[in-house]
């Protein structure tokens, strides 16, 4: 069993892994266990060290460091987003939260599942999809199914995962992704073009597209506008209640800057925990 060690300051595994950007990490005692692209990984920290024990798979130190985004100059990011006074106070409460660089396909399907749902249920959906249609790799852990497999399912089959009406979107989106290389191509698209291409997929609107860009493609400037973010922008930043998604997104990027995605998440956490209003 390979063991990777990293030095990392101000990295909260709890805030990062259980925050609703990733859905396959579980807290087991003081450790976290998750499936990352077919690897089963146990993760914990001691002092300023992060320790990853690869229980199954061949993920390299570099690859996993990339997943955790350990090369980011986090203090600098916090400084940048803290230029906004409201964000600054949220940062104080939720410092340690990081945005991961997750694998696009699983992230995309996860956020298709997220619509009109909740984090607990999304976790169950992803777990069920893996157990029902993914490969068993280690103990009770299953790989997330490939687009190939999901595309081959019938609607009543995929519904057994409890994904509800989103099942048909998952199947259709998987089918489309089998033709061409969209998820690779997104890497080199501009934000606008990426949003255009992603929202062309069934079950993917602007919010889901922005989540995928932020949590998978590391476009840290993107701000997914959900009900909470809209509430924040209307109540604390003077936006109109009937403002359009595009306007709110543009405003957020302008207001919060290059790392608006981070800024938004700190506000989001604060608002959800009842700290903002």
List 34, 57, 96, 162, residue binding DNA (CB under 7 A): 162
> Nearest 5 degrees, angle CA 6-CA 63-CA 94?
55
178: tokens are 């089998």
Neighbours of 184 (CB within 10 A): 9
**Candidate residues 174, 265, 270, 276; the one interacting with DNA per rule CB under 7 A:** 265
Structure tokens at 149: 């497999």
Given 26, 55, 121, 131, the residue binding DNA (CB under 7 A) = 121
For DNA, give the closer residue by CB, 43 or 108.
Answer: 108
Part of the chain binding DNA (CB under 7 A), chosen from 17-25, 58-66, 83-91, 178-186: 17-25
Residues facing residue 33 across a β-bridge: 26, 42
Answer for which of 37, 226, 234, 239 binds DNA (CB under 7 A) is 226
Site residues for DNA, window 48-107 (CB under 7 A)? none
Q: Per CB under 7 A, does 268 bind DNA?
A: yes
| 134 in contact with DNA (CB under 7 A) | no
| Contact between 191 and DNA per CB under 7 A | no
Mark whether 240 is an active-site residue: no
Q: Which is nearer to DNA, 219 or 265 (CB)?
A: 265
23 lies in the site for DNA, by CB under 7 A? no
How many residues are there in the chain? 277
CA distance 208 to 262: 16
Residue 176's H or E segment, with its range, is helix 166-178
**Dihedral, CA of residue 228, residue 230, residue 232 and residue 233, to nearest 10:** 160
How big is the site for DNA, counted in residues (CB under 7 A)? 36
Report the distance separating Cα 122 and Cα 113, nearest Å.
6
Q: Rule CB under 7 A: is residue 12 a binding residue for DNA? A: no
Task: By CB under 7 A, name the one of 18, 26, 199, 234 that touches DNA.
Answer: 199
x/- binding map, residues 228-247, to DNA, per CB under 7 A? xx------------x-x---
Contact between 20 and DNA per CB under 7 A: yes
Q: What are phi and psi of 210, to 5 degrees?
A: -65, -35
User: For residue 40, which phi and psi values (nearest 5 degrees)?
Assistant: -100, 120
In the bound state with DNA, the residue whose beta carbon lies nearer, of 10 and 118, is: 118
Q: Return the closest-CA partner of residue 227 out of 114, 130, 149.
A: 114
Catalytic entry in 15, 49, 188, 207: 207
Residue closer to DNA by CB (options 14, 42) is: 14
Q: Does 113 bind DNA (CB under 7 A)?
A: no
End-to-end CA distance of the chain: 47
d(CA 272, CA 15): 13
CA atoms within 13 A on the CB side of 172: 11
Shortest CB 73 distance to DNA, Å = 23
Q: Which of the residues are catalytic?
A: 207
User: In the complex, which residues of this chain contact DNA (CB under 7 A)?
Assistant: 19-21, 114-121, 159, 162, 164-165, 169, 199, 201-209, 224, 226-229, 242, 244, 264-265, 268
């Amino acid at each position: 069993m390979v063991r990777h060690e990293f030095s990392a300051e101000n990295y909260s595994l709890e805030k990062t892994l259980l925050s609703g950007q990733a859905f396959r990490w579980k807290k087991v005692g003081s450790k976290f266990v998750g499936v990352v692209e077919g690897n089963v990984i146990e993760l914990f920290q001691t002092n300023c060290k992060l320790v990853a024990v690869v229980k199954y798979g061949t993920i390299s130190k570099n690859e996993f460091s990339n997943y955790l985004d350990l090369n980011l100059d986090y203090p600098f990011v916090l400084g940048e987003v803290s230029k906004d006074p409201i964000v600054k106070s949220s940062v104080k409460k939720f410092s340690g939260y990081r945005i991961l660089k997750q694998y696009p396909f699983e992230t995309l399907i996860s956020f298709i599942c997220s619509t009109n749902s909740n984090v607990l249920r999304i976790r169950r959906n992803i777990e069920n999809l893996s157990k029902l249609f993914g490969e068993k790799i280690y103990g009770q852990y299953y790989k997330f199914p490939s687009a190939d497999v999901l595309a081959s399912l019938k609607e009543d089959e995929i519904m057994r995962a409890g994904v509800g009406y989103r099942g048909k979107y998952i199947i259709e989106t998987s089918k489309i992704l089998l033709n061409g290389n969209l998820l690779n191509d997104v890497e080199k698209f501009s934000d606008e073009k990426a949003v255009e291409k992603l929202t062309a997929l069934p079950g993917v609107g602007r919010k889901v597209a922005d989540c995928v860009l932020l949590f998978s493609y590391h476009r840290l400037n993107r701000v997914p506008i959900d009900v909470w973010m809209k509430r924040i922008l209307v109540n604390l930043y003077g936006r109109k209640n009937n403002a359009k998604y595009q306007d709110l997104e543009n405003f957020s990027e302008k207001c919060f800057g290059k790392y608006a995605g981070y800024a938004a998440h700190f506000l989001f956490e604060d608002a959800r925990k009842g700290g903002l209003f």
